[in-house]
Amino acid sequence: MTDALKTFYVTTPIYYVNDVPHIGHAYTTVAADCVARFRRLKGYKVLFLTGTDEHGQKVQKAAAAAGLEPVEFADKVVKRFQDLWKDLRISNDDFLRTTQPRHIASATTLWETVKKNGDIYKGEYEDWYCTPCENFLTETQLKDGKCPDCGRPVERLKEESYFFRLSKYGEALLRHISENPGFIQPENRKNEVVNFIKEGLRDLSVSRTSFSWGIPVPGDSRHVMYVWFDALSNYLTAAGYPGHNRMWPADLHLIGKDILRFHTVYWPAFLMSAGLPLPKRVFAHGWWTVDGNKMSKSKGNVVDPVATARKYGVDQFRYFLLREVPFGLDGDFSIKALEGRINGDLANDLGNLLSRTLSMIEKYRSGVVPPEINAKDRVDLEKDIKGLLETLPKDYSDLIGGLEFHQALNQLWVIIRKMNAFVDKASPWKEKDEETLSNVLYTLAEGLRIIAVYLFPFMPDSSDRIWEGLGMEGGIAGRDFDKEVAWGGKPGAKIKKGPPLFPRIV
Ligand code: MSP
């Protein structure tokens, strides 16, 4: 029995609306979806949050360039994100826009609380600012006079500003990081953050007067909140803040490596100041290059997830993203690699296994999954497959828990390849002995049924198709993972052969 009170709150960054969705956005969101779907199968009540970051100078400028009001501009781009998530079968429970009243109320309350606790004061800011990164920089941080992160030109800013007393929180942050070894992952990212904090934290400018597209600072509407103060508080908003915090603290913030500092220094410091618990874990994944090059609009090599999923298939694209590169490391996207995975892992291995299994059940058992009979002469490989599937639940759960998606898939493919070898070796079509043949066919059908459950978080539609192909009804969502991955499903289902699961790319 699963415990109905278990909850899991997972987030993606909220994406800027100055740009249309690309592979980087799809990557984090597909990973979060995989985690959310897995936790639901494990009986957790899940809150999976994604959304859009709509304020700030960058968005204001992009809207002006398009001849639109910021809000009109945002409405258009938001729709593109929402449509993409639908296409990619993203199962988010909430979609937060920072322009929503519930969020404005939450960010405002967070500001007021931090101010009341003595951590916000008025001063004057003079420094460099990188608008694409929405980040303040000192003279010494600049690289050849440009932003050290994105390499673009910076602007000199001098204005009255409210400051957050970040300098006060260095020690508390270091203590929290050392007492909670799982707080920042992977390990190398944690070291980066620790070194950054040890260099000394400066107070952070958290308001601006040079533009107006933002949440007004409470009590001083000449200022708008710094877009990161506004944006980070989205995670609280969706949990119910400032009302009843249903789901806070978050179990997992998934982010890209470029926004690590915001999530592991600024955000926890704001929360400490407000007397709120910190998120349990922040995991920063790596970046995709394209054919070995940095992805950029100017190079014209931005990977469009909409077109890619349309051409190659949604599940094929999801599979590639999580299989190709260990989560946490940088990776390279190429059409060759994508096609290689589709033709190899998906068409040759998994698709072929399903179609062979269904054809044999049709041919030798009139399309009905036979029972397992306790035959004396079990083929060794048959025992092997069963054995591997019986030990998998723990390994698989640990791997998904550790966000080692590629390893979880690797382990499944070891079994899938063994099953194909089993078909070759057992050559059931030549088998005379009826009992052995029944066992062979049951092992294949049962193995595939279990594999469909494991694959569901990664490839929901294809998993359901395998499930239905094996004659089962109702799909996989809403089922109990532990129960379904146990060997011993009922025989007797009438299979349904359909078109190839993963057509080969020629
Ligand atoms: N609005 C902020 C996040 C605020 S969260 C409180 C933001 N938005 S963004 O639209 O720029 O989001 C970018 C996300 O996409 C980041 O997690 C970033 O790491 C990711 N990626 C951008 N380019 C990427 C690649 N080339 N590869 C992988 N992820 C990339 O930052």
Whose CA is closest to 95, among 297, 301, 291, 237? 237
- The pLDDT value given to residue 1: 43
- The pLDDT value given to residue 48: 98
Q: Which residue has the tokens 């050849």?
A: 144
The structural domains of the chain, ordered by start, are: 3-285 (3.40.50.620), 334-484 (1.10.730.10)
For residue 348, what are its two tokens? 């040759």
3-state secondary structure of 321: helix
Centre a 10 Å sphere on the Cβ of residue 52 and count the other Cβ atoms it contains.
Answer: 23
Rounded CA separation 225/110 (Å): 11
For atom 6 of ligand 1, the residue with the nearest CA is: 232
Rounded CA separation 11/184 (Å): 15
Whose CA is closest to 286, among 23, 44, 17, 76? 23
Closest ligand 1 atom, residue 294 Cα? 26
For atom 27 of ligand 1, the residue with the nearest CA is: 287
The one-letter amino acid code at 299 reads K
- The pLDDT value given to residue 437: 86
- In this prediction the pTM is 0.94
For atom 16 of ligand 1, the residue with the nearest CA is: 256
Q: How far is the CA of 153 from the centre of ligand 1 (A)?
A: 19
For atom 23 of ligand 1, the residue with the nearest CA is: 24
Centre a 10 Å sphere on the Cβ of residue 416 and count the other Cβ atoms it contains.
Answer: 22
| Sign, Cα dihedral of 188, 193, 198, 200 | positive
Do residues 44 and 8 lie in contact, with contact meaning Cβ atoms separated by under 8 Å?
yes
Closest ligand 1 atom, residue 257 Cα? 19
Closest ligand 1 atom, residue 267 Cα? 6
Q: How far is the CA of 418 from the centre of ligand 1 (A)?
A: 39
Q: How far is the CA of 22 from the centre of ligand 1 (A)?
A: 9
Blockwise average pLDDT, block size 10, the chain, 506 residues:
75 94 97 98 98 95 94 96 98 98 98 98 91 86 91 90 97 98 97 97 94 96 96 98 91 97 98 98 97 88 94 98 97 97 98 96 95 69 86 95 98 96 77 80 96 98 98 96 94 95 95
Note the residue count of the chain.
506
Cβ < 6 Å from ligand 1: which residues?
A: 13-16, 24-25, 27-28, 53, 231-232, 234, 255-256, 258-259, 287-288, 295
Bridge partner list, 220: 217
Rounded CA separation 332/293 (Å): 8
Q: How far is the CA of 89 from the centre of ligand 1 (A)?
A: 20
Q: How far is the CA of 262 from the centre of ligand 1 (A)?
A: 12
Do residues 302 and 296 lie in contact, with contact meaning Cβ atoms separated by under 8 Å?
yes
Whose CA is closest to 364, among 447, 438, 421, 424? 438
Whose CA is closest to 323, among 505, 458, 451, 476? 458
For atom 30 of ligand 1, the residue with the nearest CA is: 24
For atom 22 of ligand 1, the residue with the nearest CA is: 24
Mutation choice for ligand 1 from 11, 14, 15, CB with most ligand atoms inside 8 A: 15
Query: What is the distance of C-alpha 204 from the center of its chain?
Result: 29
- Please state the φ and ψ torsions of residue 49, each to the nearest 5 degrees: -115, 135
